[in-house]
Structure 1
Amino acid sequence: MGEGSAAKRLPTAIYLLTFLSAIGGFLFGYDTGVVSGAMLIIRDDFKLNTLWHELIVSATIGAAMLASLGAGAATDRYGRRLVILSASLVFLVGAVVMGAAPEKVTLLVGRIIVGIGIGLASMVVPVYLSEVSPVEIRGRVTVVNNIFITGGQLVSSIISGAFSEVPMGWRYMLGLAGIPALLQLIGSAMMPESPRWLISQGRDADAMQVLEKIRPKDADLKNEIDSIKAAMADDSRQGGLKEVLSSATVRQALLIGSLLQLFQQISGINTVMYYSASIITMAGITDKSLAIWLSAATSSMNFIGTFLGLWLVERLGRRSLTLGSLLGTTVSLFMMAITFQMAYINSPKVTFSNSVSSDCSADTCGVCTSKSSCGYCFMGDRNDIMNSTCVAVNKTSFDEMSMTGWCSNSTLLSDGNATFAYDWCPYTYAWLCIVGLALYLLCFSPGMGPMPWTINSEIYPGWARATCNSITTSINWGSNLLVSLTFLTLTEVLLKHGAYIDLCVFLKITVGLLLVHSRQHLRLQ
């Protein structure tokens, strides 16, 4: 019988378990995507400055990093099922707190709670899926989690678009995450424990009962239990950090695994997902609802690209797919940098100087909006700007609609309808930035999205796997936190094109390091 026939004989329970477990990945993806659109509205409602914007976005990542560090010990002590159950409950509580938040501090607390749930789920769900899946379909089942992540990002973008024009719509965007969390909470209460964990606790009879439910009727369950015991006996030779670093081969593998996880995040993927709607508004799309819907359209590229990766990985190999993905993301980030650079160079003139504040003296819109305390008032459209000025604004308390009204009634401008631009400039070719954003996601998702996790699961010997994966997972979350916490500040200090050129430089360094080390030490195909 071939692999396809074996898969057809599998009981429905294994598909149900896969679905319920992978909801954890969906919740991770949903939160990653929904915060992008929600923050456009929250920023105005709560009068957030750049620091608070970054804190609210990044608090989830920091909490997830800390929670994932303790998740490994918790899953070994209490079992995989109980940790999944706990992650669902924590995420449900966090979603309720976020949706009901009356002010920014409560919202921050809700984001931290959600981060704890994500950290637990990101550690335990892949482990549980790999341990309950039959060997012949284990690879495909574990990849399901990645598909659920990108699917969650796409669904969240659609939800954000649907509620973008609803009063206080961000509450629905964030609060609706509680529905899949509740579904997983109910489902995980009925899920069986991992057979491997039961055997590790000396509960062979319980493990046999679980396997009888999730394996074909003709499966050799005794042989599978014996194989699990043999693998666990081999893994009992686990080494700590000292043993890992004392082995030259494992050190080289750990270097590549760490670089892959580090540069997956430094390449800017979660920055793009967290701030995609903000990036689109920076490009000159003034309508928030349109910006959120365009963010949803670009998110679909990430979802489609995941399936493209499934199709290409066995044809191109892990190494070629990863390096090709890196090259594509470098080109697309460079394209975005050039677009923002051209918008800055070709930004419209300031026709009236602002005598109220010398800090906002500027001759072009690009110079004006590069200052965090200034905004650009103009009349006309992006192709025909008649009058304009650069004005001071209190970024912690300004309201965009009131500033637009002030611009319209300003004596510096002719009476009529005016537009206020706080962090963008009118630019005819803003669509090029959106194309670059979509291209980036399409290039990232087949290779640099799943491959760091796949490669890290394959390149370590059994005795070093737990230690090395713990190190590389922490590096992933830590670098994710660093990038997301500093991105908006970088766009103010280095300007938008500078921030993207910075990411491109990191990517080129990565390509060079991987070209040298992966072929020489890991022989990745």
Structure 2
Amino acid sequence: MVSGFLFGYDTGVVSGSMLLIQPFFHLSMLWAQVIVSATVGTAALTSSVAEFVADFVGRKVIIGTAAVLFTTGAIVMGEAETILVIIVGRVIVGFAMGLSTVVVVLYVKESALATRLKWLLGWLQLMYTIGNMVSNFLTMVLHYLGDKMVWQYLLGFGAIPSILQFIAIILLPESPRWLMECDDAEGTRESLILLRGTDQIGDELEAIRLDVEEERNELDKGMRLSKPPIIRILLKPKVRQSAMNVSFLHLFQQLSGISCIILYGGSMILLSGLPTNLSLILLNIPNVLYVVATYLSNKFEPMKDDRRQLLVSSFIGKIVLIRFVHFESTVICGSEQKDSFLSRSMCFSFRTCAMCTYTEFCGFCYTNWWDGSCLPTDLNNSYKSVVGRCNHSHTANPYYKFIHSECPSDFGWFVVVGMVVFVLAYAPGLGQITQRENSQRCPVWARKTSNSIARSINWGANLIISMTFLLLMVAMTKYGTCWMFTGLCLIGVIYTAILLPDE
């Protein structure tokens, strides 16, 4: 449970803290994306090999190592005074995240009773959402204390649950299945006795032995055929289809936009035209409802026949969010004199007020929200522009206003409503089904390879989204970005309806 909270906290804390880090260091969008995606990139590398490494050294060693890395990264970020140090801390946390998310789930699956497995995996997902919610709530509370360095406390707080994870894994026994794979039958028996609290574990011990023996026989068969598991998966149509379905779920879990909500939720609200203080408050609404929706999804587990309908509902909910964001993006910079200075200015290229005011060196000049221009800010006086109609020497019109931290929009709340719809649709669909699927439909010999491929696809797609989201908002505008994600969700609906089986 602690591991789920830790993963959720370290994932979600960047959403709110970036609203404080960005103005503190005067970050460009590129640097903001580097900070966010540094963790995702390193997690993508370690998650692809974590299960194979755990087969050699054991589950406890990997989980304990991840806890140490989590603590180290949190301390580094908590003491950081430069951007590069923050990135180093995020990279360290990324290594820990890639190891922990894979091996903790593996440990739970190998150690839990079959009758309690779904319940435990559900609670692991629930604790992830709680960690996400707590990170954003702490950001809001600490921000109101007025300390400009509050982001250090937020990033450093992750050391507390990581220390608890380290203590917990020391007290727990090793995975009984891994011990059996190491031909340690006595160690397997002792581990089961500690986990179950009884010595009546003969049937379970025999089931583990038979399962390990079956996997070995299948692997030996593959060795005799001189075909690695990936080749055997591709050559067997039913196994290939199962592996493709799992990879599809992991791919579209990210491409449909969950990373945008978790990693950039605060920035999305801020870019909708709302001030930082209000953005931090409103960010808690979808996070709280995400916890509630995940809890209800665990409590009222859907029937197998509902699997396809839930997935389609998830995609439709995401399309609703995208359309809400698309509607809000109607605050467009109006026309302005295209003199030679403006033609060379980065500010003049921004088409929306939100993207204009997100950049330190630009501000929005307007009389009404539908009639504005993005102009370069006077660094000596942030209440006026260098040139243009909000420069005091250029015009005497007292009705022009020049702002550089928020936008004059009546529709910012649309983004929050869309995020609420998103999480309510996501939790019972892609959120739960992807978590539980994990290649269980594949034969034993194909599961590790299939899981590794699916996780690599998941983290890889997450990296692409996290590294490009804000830049896409500039290059394609909100309008184009919204249509891109709408198209991806529609592809997900088509694949789910046609190719994904109900059972």
* One of 489, 498, 501 as aligned partner of 1:516: 498
Change (3 A) 1:39 1:187: same
1:46 pairs with 2:29: no
| Partner residue in 2 for 1:487 | 469
Residue aligning to 1:322: 311
Tell whether the 8 Å contact from 1:307 to 1:446 is kept in structure 2 after alignment: no
Following superposition of structure 1 onto structure 2, how do residues 364-403 of structure 1 map, counting pairs within 5 Å? Answer: 366=351, 375-378=362-365, 390-393=374-377, 403=382
Residue of 240, 248, 251 corresponding to 2:237: 248
Q: Which amino acid aligns with 1:294?
A: L
SS in 2 for 1:163: helix
* 1:25 match: 4
TM-score scaled by length of structure 1: 0.85
The one-letter amino acid paired with 1:213 is L
C-alpha distance in structure 1 between counterparts of 2:139 and 2:444, whole Å: 43
For the pair 1:220 / 2:203, whether they are aligned, the reply is no
Task: Give the whole-Å Cα distance in 2 for the aligned partners of 1:149 and 1:429.
Answer: 30
- Which has the higher mean CA deviation after the structures are superposed, 402-411 or 53-62? 402-411
Residues 353, 415 of structure 1: alpha-carbon distance in 2 compared, 3 angstrom cutoff? farther
Any residues of structure 2 matched to 1:48-87 within 5 Å, and which?
A: 48-87=27-66
- Aligned residue identity for 2:121: T
Alignment CA distance shift 1:224-1:281 (3 Å): same
Q: Percent of counterpart pairs with the same letter?
A: 30
| 3-state DSSP of counterpart to 1:403 | strand
CA contact (8 A) 1:350 1:365 kept: no
Q: Tell me: CA distance 1:337–1:311, structure 2 relative to 1, closer, same or farther (3 Å).
A: farther
For 1:375, give the aligned amino acid. Answer: C
Q: In structure 2, do the counterparts of structure 1 residues 213 and 364 end up closer, same or farther at CA, with 3 Å as the change threshold?
A: closer
| Separation in 1, partners of 2:434, 2:460 | 15
Render the CA deviation track for 1:377-397: whole Å, top value 9, x for unaligned: 4477869x9xx6542259xxx
Alpha-carbon distance in 2 for matches of 1:336, 1:189: 46
Over residues 7-59 of structure 1, what are the superposed CA-to-partner deviations in whole Å (9 max), with x where a residue is unaligned? xxxxxxxxxxxxxxx32221221122110111111111122111111111001
* Cα separation, 1, equivalents of 2:95 and 2:162: 13
- By how many angstroms is 1:109 displaced? 0.7
Gaps of 5+ in 1: 1-21
Is 1:172 the counterpart of 2:153? The answer is yes
CA distance in 2, matches of 1:414, 1:171: 43
Root-mean-square deviation over aligned CA pairs: 2.8
Match of 1:122 in 2: 101
One-letter code aligned to 1:232: V
Aligned residues: 485
Q: Which of 239, 244, 269 is equivalent to 1:280? A: 269
SS in structure 2 opposite 1:343? coil
CA contact (8 A) 2:24 2:148 kept: no
**Is the 8 Å Cα contact of residues 373 and 392 (structure 1) preserved in structure 2?**
no
Matched residue, 1:188? 169
Q: 2:210 aligns with which of 217, 230, 252?
A: 230
> Could you say what secondary structure the match of 1:26 adopts?
helix
2:142 is matched with 163
Structure 1 residue 404 displacement after superposition: 3.8
SS at match of 1:460: coil
Q: 1:328 to 1:277 in 2, by over 3 A?
A: same
Q: 1:506 maps to what in 2?
A: 488
* CA drift at 1:362: 9.8
What is the one-letter code of the residue matched to 1:267? S
- Are positions 1:112 and 2:91 aligned together? yes
Q: Which moved more, 1:474-483 or 1:27-36?
A: 27-36
TM-score (ref. length: structure 2): 0.89
- How far the C-alpha of 1:75 sits from its partner, in A, is 1.2
Q: Is contact 2:363-2:385 (8 Å) kept?
A: no
Aligned partner of 1:497 in structure 2 is: 479
Asked whether 1:331 is paired with 2:353, we answer: no
Query: Partner residue of 1:12?
Result: none
* Residue in 1 that maps onto 2:252: 263
1:353 Cα offset (Å): 8.0
Query: Cα deviations across residues 135-173 of structure 1 (Å, max 9, x unaligned)?
Result: 211111122211111111111110111122432111011
Q: Do the aligned partners of 1:25 and 1:121 also contact (CA within 8 Å) in 2?
A: no
User: Are 1:54 and 1:486, in contact at CA under 8 Å, matched by a contact in 2?
Assistant: yes
| Secondary structure of 1:445's aligned partner | helix
Tell me, yes or no, if the aligned pair for 1:376 and 1:391 is still in contact at 8 Å: yes
Alpha-carbon spacing, 1:457–1:413, altered in 2? closer, same or farther (3 Å): farther
Q: CA separation of 1:276/1:82 partners in 2, compared to 1, >3 Å: closer, same or farther?
A: same
Aligned match of 1:421: 404
Amino acid at match of 1:323: V
For 1:459, give the aligned amino acid: R
Distance change in 2, residues 1:48/1:373 (3 Å):
closer
Structure 1 residue 203: deviation in Å? Answer: 2.1
3-state SS of paired residue (1:435): helix
2:137 and 2:368 map into 1 onto residues whose CA distance is: 29
In 2: Cα distance, 1:61 partner to 1:403 partner? 35
Give the 3 Å change call, closer, same or farther, for CA 204–332 of structure 1 in structure 2. same
Letter of the 1:221 partner, please give it. I
- Is the partner of 2:436 in helix, strand or coil? helix
Q: Is the CA contact 2:364–2:407 (under 8 Å) kept in the aligned structure 1?
A: no
Q: Could you say if the C-alpha distance between residues 433 and 482 of structure 1 is closer, same or farther in structure 2, counting changes exceeding 3 Å?
A: same
How far did 1:365 drift?
8.9
Amino acid at match of 1:421: H
Q: CA deviation at 1:320?
A: 2.1
> C-alpha distance in 1, partners of 2:63/2:392?
57
1:151 match = 130
Instruction: Please state whether the residue corresponding to 1:426 is helix, strand or coil.
Output: coil
Code of the residue aligned with 1:262 in structure 2: it is: L
Query: 1:282 & 1:368 partners in 2: Cα distance?
Result: 8
**Residue 305, structure 1, aligned to residue 286, structure 2:** no
